Structure 1
Amino acid sequence: MNFMALIAQGGPVSQGVALLLLGMSVASWVVIVWKAWLLHRASGDVTRSIAAFWQSSSITQASEKLAAFDREALVLPLVAATQLQTGNTLASAGDLSQQLTRVLRDALHAVLHKLQYGQVLLATVGSTAPFVGLLGTVWGIYHALIGIATAGQITIDKVSGPVGEALIMTAAGLAVAIPAVLAYNVFGRQIGRIEADLEGFARDLRELVASASTSK
């Protein structure tokens, strides 16, 4: 009895578990490859964009430079947020410092939402895949033992083979979960560093715009 025969013998449950693990693996690896590319570019973009911003002579000139440097659009929304709304609306209520704090916070949250995209899927796969594999193991062992019992004489060699093959489902669950957990932790550290850089930039930008408006 091989692994595929065991899945076929287990019926819809074993087949469903195998397909679910396959789907979870494919989805997690797609996210891992995409986020590795995104965060690699984002880390470089943030460093270069912030440097280009402070080397500019004005916010207008900085915005033009960032359009070329900031490919992932992480710094540019913070700069654009300094264009405060006017009029008799709640968005324009409060003094300049309050308005800047509000719009920069909203822009920063939008950027961080983009960076965090896919993290929930990795966390979900990492935490549930072992249990999905365990379900397949339990179901496979159950059907293997039922088949052995109906065959008549029970010996160690007849039990160890099917049970060992059923345990492969647990190994498959771990094989799906481990890359997702590792990627989640690595990406979390990268996102944390980018977030710290953006928060520091947003704070400096707020003070710059506030002081420039006060001196006018």
Structure 2
Amino acid sequence: MPITITQYLMQLDTLGRAVALLLILMSLVSWFTIFSKAWSFWRIRRGTSALHFFWQAPTMQDAVNSLAVSDVENIYTPLAKQGLAASDPQVRARSMMANTDAADVMTRVLREELTSVTVRLESGLTLLASIGATAPFVGLLGTVWGIYHALTAVSGSSAIQIDLVAGPVGEALVMTGLGLMVAIPAVLAYNAFNRINRITFAELDGFAFDLHAYFTKLS
């Protein structure tokens, strides 16, 4: 008769239970991050179509307003908004940028926005990478501990009995499986999200370059 998860946890000792709970917690955090990032990236990729129509708007303000509607994750819109604000001589005159070359001001403003967006896009990826890298080793710790219990049970008995070994060995195998079940989705999601990020970064760089060329010609 197969045992339930509750029964399995109850038969573990303190260290084994801590390892199992840690793997379950890592799995929950990993899947929450995967689902939240997947939803965010889906909305980002859906809004990229607005970039193709951005330069067809009659005015820059109309283009920014149109982009803001489609860019629900607010990834591309800040570049256009900050570039538009920095191109206004009256705005620059009220700050230390008054005596700075307009092209340099635009470069700094767009670079700051690119950095801010990059931080947002990469948030959570380090967590996934860490879980994917450490979960197998956490499971391995539980595996080693289960094997240790099996060897201890064998050494303390005058005759080798399968029931003395089956429990600890089964515990070790379950820990190995848990570690892999936690690590594999995290690694696959990390690689997929990195791929999406590279595409998004390329589009952001191109968009920032076009904005820089447009606004510096107006100054």
TM-score, normalised to structure 2, is 0.87
- Cα distance in 2 for partners of 1:102, 1:80 equals 14
Q: Partner of 1:99 in structure 2?
A: 105
Distance 1:143-1:10 versus aligned 2 partners, 3 A rule: farther
Asked if the contact 2:153/2:164 (under 8 Å) is kept, the reply is no
| Equivalent position of 1:140 in the other structure | 146
2:92 to 86, 89, 101: 86
- 1:179 is aligned to 185
Tell me how far apart the structure 1 counterparts of residues 14 and 165 of structure 2 sit (CA, whole Å): 22
Extract unaligned runs of 5+ from structure 1: none
Q: Which residue of 2 aligns with 1:206?
A: 212
1:20 Cα deviation after fit: 0.6
Is 1:64 matched with 2:49?
no
Hey, what does 2:169 align to over in structure 1?
A: 163
Judge which range, 21-30 or 111-120, deviates more: 111-120
Structure 2 residue aligned with 1:21: 23
- CA separation in 1, counterparts of 2:111 and 2:77? 14
Match of 2:46 in 1: 44
Letter in 1 for 2:165: V
The letter for the 2-side match of 1:33 is: F
Alpha-carbon distance change, 134 to 91 in structure 1, aligned in 2, over 3 angstroms: farther
The AA in structure 2 aligned to 1:206 is H
Q: Which amino acid aligns with 1:102?
A: R
Aligned residue type for 2:38: A
1:154-193 CA distance string (max 9 Å, x none)? 2466435532431220121011101100110011001100
The answer as to whether partners of 1:10 and 1:143 remain within 8 angstroms in 2 is no
SS of 1:152's equivalent in the other structure is: coil
Asked whether the 8 Å contact 1:14–1:136 carries over to 2, the reply is yes
Partner deviation per Cα, 1:14-48 (whole Å, 9 max, x = no partner): 111101100111111111111111111101212x2
Give, in angstroms, the shift of residue 70 of structure 1. Answer: 1.1
Q: What TM-score results when the alignment is normalised by the length of structure 1? A: 0.89
Q: Distance in 1 between matches of 2:29 and 2:77?
A: 30
Aligned to 1:73: 74
Offset of residue 77 of structure 1? 0.2
Alignment RMSD, CA only? 2.2
What's the offset of the Cα at 1:149?
3.1
